Amino acid sequence: MENEKFTSELSSTFREYILLPRCTRRDQGIAQVDLSTRLTHDLKLNIPFMSAAMEAVTGDRLAIALAQHGGMAVIPAGNVPAQDQLDMIRAVKRFKAGFVEKVITVSDDMPIQKVIDLERQHGYSTFPVVDKKGRLVGLLTEKKYNPWQDAELLVKERMLPLDKLVVGRHGMSLGEANKLIFESGIGVLPVVDEKGMLRSVVFFSDIRRAHEFPAGVVDAQKRLRVAGAISTHPEDQERARNLVEAGADVLVVDASDGFSEYMQDTIKRLKKLGVPVVAGNVVDQAGFDYLVEQGADAIKVGIGSGSICTTRRVKAIGRGQATAVHQCALARDRHFQKTGKYVPVISDGGLESSGDMSVALALGADVLMMGKYFAGFEESPTTSFLKRLPVMFSGQLAEVEVTVKPYWGEASPRAKNVKRYQQDDPRSFVIEGEEGYVLYKGSLHKGLPRELMAIKGTLSSCGCSNLDSFYKEVQVERQTVESVREGGTSIFRA
């Protein structure tokens, strides 16, 4: 009886494991390592990163930036109104590198002092001038006015009028815009449609940037790829249909515990819409097999591991994330051998460092879903601010001022996402998440390549040049608490 009560596994997490290096061959240098992976049997990602379907993490800006680097974002549902989620999916699909759609415009009867204020507030120095209907009538650049003398003048007295501007046509390619922007001589190209309405602006600096993302994941029409989250509630079916119509490449069923009959019904409903369906979250082989049987194309793994998660304290369910990922990876491999269909494992939650990410990949994760990691980037949907935090400095309590961004769980008092947690009423909602801050990390474009480089370094040290061989060949060793401590640092720091 006693033996049946306990499983033979011990719940363990990434930090308890260490990878053994092997000989690095010349063709396995960091530059040769390929981090591409599969999100579904047929859908490739160029990096194994996915952003969490959380309001504090993923919006259209983050989704665009992540897809440019080869990963995929999941635009959240939960408390996000259906129209807003749809608008974000559309913004990603519409995005054309170099063409900036959300620009701040001014009117020609506005005093220049107001433009100076806008410049200070947003840091921009060029403003398209539009009439009440949104038609382009001119362009004001900071070189055209003197802030000490012209503040009282009106925009129309200093702007470059439409007839003196080089203007692009909506729908043009970046190559065509590139040529025109040189002709303009001012490094800015407003783009209008056939009615003269301003549709976007191309900046010379962005054109240079647009060529920096050869690893971007795009669909057959060369649009960036993006996923949309959907709850298990039947009324979300309409939302799901609209997301697919708007171009969502993948639907991700967002539920804290996915081993359920609600999930079964949802997968069946969503599979009719013709895009891959990601389901979860589960933590063991039984849960994995159950969702695969319903037709899920990838499985999200992880309960209780998230950085803002109190599920294990509140409900005592879940599993150590390393054990959960490895057990589900074994189920995936068995299913693949039996049927020839590869159903990837997405490790969701609890990744704190590039070391954790490498261990997750070594244990069999195909994709890493992260919330906290992405929440601190400039591109996440929240606003950064300064916060004084207490620190111990030479044995004394001091305060430092740091830039932070807010981060909160979907089951925190702030979110109470009833749909994700299969609850009906916010008033009796069982809290399973916390609210706090993460350090602001600047732009994803600068930060993310560093993590990728670190992971590539791990593969290279382990004698592997791709994720498939890394999973199959790398030796993983459990470490003692003392060994984990030894892996930390032990000098006195200022």
Cβ distance to ligand IMP smaller for residue 201 or 309: 309
Residue at token pair 């600068």: 446
Size of site (CB under 6 A) for ligand IMP: 23
For the bound state, the minimum distance from the C-beta of residue 347 to ligand IMP, rounded and expressed in Å, comes to 10
DSSP state, residue 25: P
Distance of alpha carbon 418 from alpha carbon 429, whole angstroms = 7
**Shortest spacing between CB 365 and ligand IMP, in angstroms:** 13
Helix 236-246 and helix 261-271, axial crossing angle in degrees, nearest 10: 40
Residues 6+ apart with CB under 8 A from 279: 253, 258, 263, 266, 267, 291, 294, 296, 298, 299, 300
Whose Cβ is closer to ligand IMP: residue 128's or residue 350's?
Answer: 350
Is 240 a binding residue for ligand IMP by CB under 6 A? The answer is no
How many angstroms separate the CA atoms of 244 and 235, rounded?
16
406 vs 463, which CB is nearer to ligand IMP?
406
What are the phi and psi torsion angles at 130 (to 5°)?
Answer: -130, 155
> Rounded CA gap, 416 and 428, in Å?
10
Q: Which of 348, 356, 366, 379 binds ligand IMP (CB under 6 A)?
A: 348
Among 48, 59, 306, 364, binds ligand IMP (CB under 6 A): 306
Q: How far is the CB of 407 from ligand IMP (least distance, A)?
A: 7
Q: Is 264 an interacting residue with respect to ligand IMP (CB under 6 A)? A: no
Taking contact as CB under 6 A, which single stretch among the options 61-69, 383-391, 408-416, 450-458 is the one that binds ligand IMP?
408-416
Least separation in angstroms between CB 412 and ligand IMP: 5
Q: Map residues 176-215 to x or -, x wherever contact with ligand IMP holds by CB under 6 A.
A: ----------------------------------------
Residue with tokens 């020839």: 340
Question: Following CA atoms 456, 457, 462, 465 in sequence, which dihedral angle do they give, to the nearest 10 degrees?
Answer: 30
- Tell me whether residue 95 or residue 373 sits nearer to ligand IMP (CB atom): 373
Candidates 158-166, 174-182, 260-268, 407-415: pick the segment binding ligand IMP (CB under 6 A). Answer: 407-415
The amino acid that residue 111 corresponds to is P
63 phi and psi, to 5 degrees?
A: -60, -40
What residues contact residue 179 under an 8 Å CB cut-off, 6+ apart?
A: none
Considering only residues 59, 70, 349, 364, which one is a binding residue for ligand IMP as defined by CB under 6 A? 349
Q: How far is the CB of 111 from ligand IMP (least distance, A)?
A: 46
Closest residue to ligand IMP, based on beta-carbon distance: 433
Q: Which stretch binds ligand IMP (CB under 6 A): 23-31, 96-104, 161-169, 300-308?
A: 300-308
Q: Is 14 helix (H, G, I), strand (E, B) or coil?
A: helix
Q: Other C-beta atoms within 10 Å of 430: how many?
A: 12
Residue among 13, 37, 126, 307 that touches ligand IMP (CB under 6 A): 307
Find the catalytic residue in 38, 61, 319, 420: 420
Q: Kindly tell me which residue out of 40, 323, 354, 412 binds ligand IMP, with binding defined by CB under 6 A.
A: 412
Which residues, in sequence order, are CB contacts of 354 under 8 Å at separation 6+? 450, 451, 454, 455, 458
The three-class DSSP label of residue 255 is coil
* Number of Cα atoms under 13 Å in the Cβ half of residue 449: 11
Q: Give the residue with the Cβ less far from ligand IMP, 427 or 493.
A: 427
Q: Is 420 assigned a catalytic role?
A: yes
Which residue among 350, 355, 364, 381 contacts ligand IMP (CB under 6 A)? Answer: 350
Span of 202-210, 406-414, 443-451, 465-473 interacting with ligand IMP by CB under 6 A: 406-414
- Active site (annotated) includes residue 309: yes
Q: Is 325 in the site for ligand IMP (CB under 6 A)?
A: no
Is 78 a residue that touches ligand IMP (CB under 6 A)? Answer: no
352 vs 468 by CB, closer to ligand IMP: 352
* Cross-strand pairs, 202: 99, 189
**Of positions 159, 411, 464, 467, contacts ligand IMP by CB under 6 A:** 411
Other beta carbons within 10 Å of 218: 14
User: CA 414, CA 291: separation in Å to the nearest integer?
Assistant: 30
Task: Report angle CA 235, 238, 244 to the nearest 5 degrees.
Answer: 135
Residues with Cβ within 8 Å of residue 202, at least 6 apart in sequence: 98, 99, 100, 168, 174, 177, 181, 188, 189, 191
Catalytic entry in 309, 328, 462, 464: 309
With CB under 6 A as the contact rule, which of the stretches 210-218, 219-227, 257-265, 370-378 interacts with ligand IMP? 370-378
433, 455, 459, 470: residue in contact with ligand IMP (rule CB under 6 A): 433
Q: Which spans of this chain sit near ligand IMP (rule: CB under 6 A)? A: 52, 54, 302, 306-309, 311, 348-351, 369-373, 409-412, 432-433
Which residue numbers are catalytic?
A: 309, 420
